[in-house]
Amino acid sequence: MFDPFKITEPTCISFSGGRTSAYMLWRVLQSNGGLPTETIVCFANTGKEDEATLRFVQDCSEHWNVPITWLEYRKDGYAVVDYKTASRNGEPFEALIDKRHYLPNTFARFCTSELKIVPMKKHLKSLGYEDIATFVGIRADEPRRVAKMKDNADIKETPLATAKVTVADVLSFWDRQPFNLQTVTVNGNSLLSNCDLCFLKKADHLLGLIQDKPERAVWWANMEKKIGARFNQAHPSYGDMLSYNEKQRDMFDPAEEAISCFCGD
């Protein structure tokens, strides 16, 4: 019987740091009795991932006893880092913006390629792999993404889609595990997946994340101010969203005392 998770050639497992790609890694480990020889698991850190994502990647490595190579973009190439030394203040992302002198946006989404795909390809080439199979965590209930992958020369395999895995399967798996990704989830998807305030997220989701933790918006607002442009022309600027959030907070008096009530707790 065909097993899409069975590895028979040199393979790179692209680990985004989310539940879906982690589940894909687990299925690979189960199908192959561990991580096969000439299989490399890579996580590319942009410096704007939520801390919970970084912790989750490290948890997967420790709980499953699997080596995960952490990579980061550099102006002159890339660097291999780890959980302790990984950037947490957007340094790789800012270095790319400084080099390009403009922001990635909805029409020129070069951030994924330059911050993730290119460092992985350079690292694999340094190991002697010019052409290597790549596994990515895309599910069967993401048909648009599956269709796009068929035209992507950098992606070779989408085993979860082939195995008909859906978000319900992924969530059911994580409900039974001793650890999990500790981020906000809506309809099975983490709002903090990939970069914390990625400009491709819905505007209301961005505002909600800023309301939850206003400091998330500071880096994004600073980048827009530095370049004099916006990441997404269809959205308010990050500075405006941050200001709006602050004004909303000012509507209420934090020193106001609650009125006594006898309803109990």
Domain ranges of the chain: 11-183, 197-249
Start-to-end C-alpha separation, the chain? 58
Residue entry with tokens 């199908």: 31
CATH superfamily of 11-183: HUPs (3.40.50.620)
* pLDDT tens for each residue of 130-167: 889 999 999 999 888 888 776 666 556 899 999 999 99
What is the number of residues in the chain?
265
Over 90: is that where the pLDDT of 35 sits? yes
Q: pLDDT band for position 118 (50/70/90)?
A: very high
Over 60: is that where the pLDDT of 1 sits? yes
Q: Which pLDDT value is given to residue 85?
A: 98
Q: pLDDT band for position 255 (50/70/90)?
A: low
**pTM assigned to the model:** 0.89
Q: Give the C-alpha separation, 170 to 26, whole Å.
A: 11
CA 177 to chain centre: 20
Over 70: is that where the pLDDT of 168 sits? yes
* pLDDT tens for each residue of 66-83: 999 999 999 999 999 999
Other C-beta atoms within 10 Å of 7: how many?
A: 20
Q: Give the C-alpha separation, 22 to 10, whole Å.
A: 19
In DSSP notation, the chain reads ---TT---S-EEEE--SSHHHHHHHHHHHHHHTSSPTTEEEEEE--S-B-HHHHHHHHHHHHHHT---EEEEEETTEEEEE-TTTS--SSHHHHHHHHHHTS---SS--HHHIIIIIHHHHHHHHHTT-SS-EEEE---TT-HHHHHHHHT-TT--B-HHHHTT--HHHHHHHHHTSS----S-EETTEETTSSBTT-TTS-HHHHHHHHHH-TTHHHHHHHHHHHHTS-S-TTS--HHHHHHHHHHHHHTS-TTPPPPP-SS--
* pLDDT tens for each residue of 36-75: 999 999 999 999 999 999 999 999 999 999 999 999 999 9
